[in-house]
Structure formats: C-alpha cells, structure tokens
C-alpha cells in the first residue's frame, strides 16, 4: 500500500491557509477600487480613487491598532501551519517531498510577503510618513527611491493579491497530493484484485 499523508497534519496546513484567505477576502473590497478598477469620477478635478485611498488607509490603521491579542492569534495560526508542514515532512515519502515541499516554499513566500510588505506597510501607513522623510512639506522627491502615499497603498493592495495567490497555490498542491495518493491507492487495489483473481483461477485449475 502507498504511504498515505497524515490527515491531521494536512488539516493543520489547510486550516490556517483557509483562515488567511478569509482575512484577505475581507480586505478585498478595500483593495478592489485602489488596484483593480478605476471608479467613476464624480467630482471633476479630483482623483476618483481618493476616497478609496482614504478608506483603505483608515482600514489599515484600524487593523494595525488592534489589541496585541489579535497579532498573537495571527502568529499562532501561522505557526500552526508550519507545524503541519514539519509533521508531514518528518520521514517524508516521495509524494510528501514533492507536494509538501512545494507547498512549504509557497507558504514561506507568503510569510515573507506578510513580514516584508504588509507589516512594514502598515507601520508606514500608521505613522503617516510617506516618501522621503528628509524633504520638507511641499517638496517633491524625483529620485524614485521613495513611494508616495498612493503608491504605498497600491503596494499593500498588491501584496494582498500576491499572498492570496500563494495560499491558493498551497491548497491546490494539497489537493493534488490527495488526488495522487488516492489514484495510487486505487491502482494498487485494482492490481491486488487482479492478482487475487489470478491466484484463485490457478487453484481451481490445480483442483481439476
């Protein structure tokens, strides 16, 4: 019989992944008008996205100002997913190495996006310091080394999308592993049935 993956460890991976996808889905209404579409311009001379930038900024400030318990729960959920990967990759089979190894790479890429882009971006949004802090008010930075308020919010919205794609990739790989294991088990079962049938026929021939 093939070595089946640990269902509890799979649950430890899929649970946090779906949890984070739910969190990202809740942020999608804020990201949509900032990144994915251009809303109708109701006031001439005013950027149509301006109110949506403000809504996203307020949303991010609210999340960043959450009680420490919220971030602790978030980090516990991240650690739970990592625990699932460690459990599945302990004495791994070939399927574990392929599917779970690739899933772990995607998961760690997601953690990197979270730390490098989202957490850092939330700190910038909360501080309200965009662009080059060395410039005085009214000066414009033409160096291209610093992001404006609008670009910073777009980067955060894009980071949510990238993170969602990475997590969907984890789910696809886990589903692929389940299908591969099931297919292998079905094939082995079919081969065993044929082998048993062949043995039974040989016994009948010997009796005759």
- In this model, does residue 73 exceed pLDDT 90? yes
In this predicted structure, what is the pLDDT of residue 50? 87
**CA pair distance 98, 96, nearest whole angstrom:** 6
pLDDT in tens, 94-107: 778 889 999 999 99
Task: Give the model's confidence band at 41: pLDDT under 50 very low, under 70 low, under 90 confident, else very high.
Answer: confident
Q: Domain residue spans in the chain?
A: 7-133+144-207
pLDDT in tens, 142-169: 555 577 888 999 999 999 999 999 999 9
CB atoms within 10 A of CB 166: 22
Distances 11 to 79, 92, 207 between C-alpha atoms, Å = 13, 17, 52
Distances 58 to 3, 30, 165, 208 between C-alpha atoms, Å = 50, 10, 25, 86
- In this model, does residue 201 exceed pLDDT 70? yes
- To the question of pTM greater than 0.75 for the whole model, the response is yes
Nearest Cα to Cα of residue 168 among 18, 25, 23: 18
In this predicted structure, what is the pLDDT of residue 27? 92
Task: Give the model's confidence band at 2: pLDDT under 50 very low, under 70 low, under 90 confident, else very high.
Answer: very low
**CA pair distance 42, 58, nearest whole angstrom:** 21
Name the average pLDDT for the chain.
Answer: 85
């Amino acid at each position: 019989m093939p070595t089946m993956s640990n269902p509890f460890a799979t649950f430890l991976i899929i649970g946090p992944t779906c949890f984070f996808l739910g969190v990202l889905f809740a942020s999608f209404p804020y990201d949509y008008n900032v990144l994915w579409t251009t809303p109708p311009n109701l006031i001439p001379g005013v950027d149509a996205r301006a109110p949506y930038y403000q809504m996203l900024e307020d949303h991010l400030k609210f999340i960043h100002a959450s009680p420490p318990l919220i971030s602790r729960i978030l980090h516990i959920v991240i650690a739970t997913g990592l625990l699932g990967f460690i459990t599945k990759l302990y004495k791994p089979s070939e399927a574990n190495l392929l599917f779970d190894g690739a899933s772990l790479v995607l998961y760690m890429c997601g953690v990197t996006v979270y730390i490098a882009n989202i957490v850092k971006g939330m700190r910038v949004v909360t501080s309200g310091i965009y662009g080059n802090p060395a410039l005085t008010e009214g000066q414009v930075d033409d160096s291209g080394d610093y992001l404006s308020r609008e670009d910073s919010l777009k980067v955060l919205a894009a980071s949510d999308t990238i993170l969602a794609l990475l997590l969907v990739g984890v789910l696809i790989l886990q589903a692929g592993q389940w299908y591969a294991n099931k297919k292998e088990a079905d094939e082995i079962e079919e081969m065993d049935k044929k082998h048993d049938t062949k043995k039974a026929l040989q016994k009948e021939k010997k009796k005759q």
